[in-house]
Amino acid sequence: MTIIVDAIEIRLRNPSLRLAFAVLFGFLVIAGAILGPTVIKDGVENFQELKRVQSRDYAGPIETWIRPWMIQNANTMIDARGALDWRVHDFKFGPCSKNNLRQLPNRDLREVIDQSCQDLSRIQNAHGGECFTVSECNITEATKDEIRLVIANLDEVFSGLGLAIPYEVDEQGAIP
């Protein structure tokens, strides 16, 4: 028996690399067995909570946020200083996608938002040459007026349905 104890003492004083890895592996297996179920359970619960928060039931109705979103992106296009500002969003996807617009309860609202998305997409594609380089964007006033007309049509329908008061720009150019 003392021969075995002596052999273990020698190995512990001068451990080989294989013994060091074996001890490390044993430690990780024991720690994983103790902590694994808790970590997995917490991860599953947190993932389920995240999915609940991201669900459509938890988010506000589309009609409450799509108009400000479209106006913000349209204003970014008007004030574009480079190609990234001009192509701030692709108006065929995301909030403007057909699946997203189907959520709208009002047909008139659905049609005006769809038309506004199509108009902004058309303007982006038709006048993309004015904003071709990364460092410079020369958007003509006629193009800016087209974008403003899309915003005005959107405001008209939303305010006609009693969902919004149109944005007005004060003397300093700030939206109140």
Place 176 in a pLDDT band, splitting at 50, 70 and 90: very low
Collect all residues with Cβ–Cβ distance below 8 Å to 63 and sequence separation of at least 6: 104, 105, 106, 109, 163
Cα 127 to Cα 120: distance, rounded to the nearest angstrom: 10
pLDDT at residue 49 tops 70: yes
- Rounded to the nearest integer, the mean pLDDT of the chain is 80
Cα 77 to Cα 86: distance, rounded to the nearest angstrom: 5
pLDDT digits (tens, 9 = 90+) for 120-129: 999 988 887 7
